[in-house]
Amino acid sequence: MNNYKLIIQYDGTDFCGWQIQRNEPSIQGEISNAIETILREKINLIGAGRTDAGVHALGQTANFKSEVELDFYRFKHQLNSILPKSISITEIANVEEKFNSRSSAKKRIYFYLITNIKSPFYFRYSHFQNIKYNVDKLNLISKKIIGTYDFSAFTKNVAEVENTICTVKNAWWKETKNFYIFMIEGNRFLHGMVRSITGTILNIHNSSGNENEMSEILGSKERKNSGESLPAKGLFLYKIKY
């Protein structure tokens, strides 16, 4: 049995997210349908990160198994010709049979884009804020979430999750000419967690609070204490590390 790994980019604007949902267009559904059309067999496409509605990806990873021996160049061309323009398969590889794109992942890296320039070319992929941020202060606040904690304060669906413990390995901000970029690396993330964390960091910054407020919010384990989640359009799944 062959186990094939895909690296995928997508614009999540017009999709309900990665995961297949009834009567809603999904990334997983579009790719699965395209693969099944080419191979003429049912496949189980496993994604490394279940990105939410409107979230984008530069390096989503997925895998599926098939008895068919693929010509990678031809198969990638066929897939991309069937898929909508908002989804692209950038790499295909044969991996060992035990590889699972979700459970084998060691680290997931996301970034969030905020722009202080009102531009029609940035609108779909960043959150506009006409605010001058102090990046040093943002980084001080962000350091408080690095480590292994219960991140219940940063997800709305605590009752639906068996495990709310996550390890954030790194979190930092950088400033470019037109953007503030928030990078976050972790072993796993809860539903809406990155957008909630990003919104909370900005809320503490804007209210002239200090970094200890982030520790207090994290320790409270209460979603009502954290800031408003930022729009999905600024969030990108950047890379999966194995």
Give the residue from 109, 117, 118 showing the smallest Cα distance to 237: 109
**In this structure, which amino acid lies at residue 196?**
S
pLDDT of residue 152: 96
* pLDDT number for residue 208: 80
Contact in structure between 62 and 48 (CB atoms under 8 Å): yes
CA distance 217 to 223: 8
Give φ, ψ of 92 to 5 degrees. -135, 135
pLDDT of 156 over the 90 cut: no
Does the pLDDT value for residue 209 go beyond 90? no
Rounded to an integer, the average pLDDT of 9-16 is: 97
**Is the pLDDT at 151 greater than 90, yes or no?**
yes
Q: Is 71 a catalytic residue?
A: no
Average pLDDT, the chain: 96
**Domain range annotation of the chain:** 2-95, 107-241
In this chain, the answer to whether the domains covering 2-95 and 107-241 adopt an identical fold is yes
Q: Is the pLDDT of residue 38 over 80?
A: yes
Domain covering 107-241 in this structure, CATH number: 3.30.70.660
pLDDT band, residue 110 (cuts 50/70/90):
very high
Note the pLDDT of residue 158.
Answer: 79
C-beta atoms surrounding 72 within 10 Å: 12
Q: Using an 8 Å Cβ cutoff, are 4 and 89 in contact?
A: no
* pTM over 0.85, yes/no: yes
Q: What digits encode the pLDDT tens for the residues 224-235?
A: 999 999 999 999
The CATH classification number of 2-95 equals 3.30.70.580
Terminal CA-to-CA distance of the chain, rounded, Å? 21
- In the block, which residue shows the tokens 């072993």? 187
What is the spatial distance between Cα 39 and Cα 75, in angstroms, rounded to a whole number? 10
Label residue 161 by pLDDT band (50, 70, 90).
confident
Give 21-37 pLDDT, tens digit per residue.
989 999 999 999 999 99
Residues written for the chain = 242
Task: Look at 167 and 23; give whichever has higher pLDDT.
Answer: 167
pLDDT by residue (tens digit) across 70-97? 999 999 999 999 999 999 999 999 999 9
Interatomic CA distance for residues 4 and 147, integer angstroms: 33
Question: Of the listed 14, 52, 71, 136, which one is catalytic?
Answer: 52
Asked if residue 55 has pLDDT above 90, the reply is yes
The amino acid present at 58, given as its one-letter code, is L
Residue 160 has pLDDT above 80, yes or no: no
